[in-house]
Amino acid sequence: MPFVTVQIAKGHSIEKKRELAKAITDTLVATMGTKPEWVTVHIDEFERDNWAVGGTLHSDKHKGRHLEKGV
C-alpha cells in the first residue's frame, strides 16, 4: 500500500492538485502493479515565507509571481 507525501508551496489550484494526485497514482499503478485504491497521496503545503534558497526567502525572491499565474 504506497503512501506518498508531496511537499509543495501553497497557492496551487485544486485542479492542479487533482492532476498531481492522479499522475502519482497512475505512475505507481503502472510501475509497482498496485491497485489505485491502495495508493494514498498526501499533499503537504507550506507557506513561501517558510522556504529559503541561498539564504533568501522564496516569497522575497518571487514577489507576486505565483499570485499572477494562479500557482
Catalytic center residues: 2
The set of residues, in sequence order, having a beta carbon less than 8 Å from that of 13 and lying 6+ positions away, is 70, 71
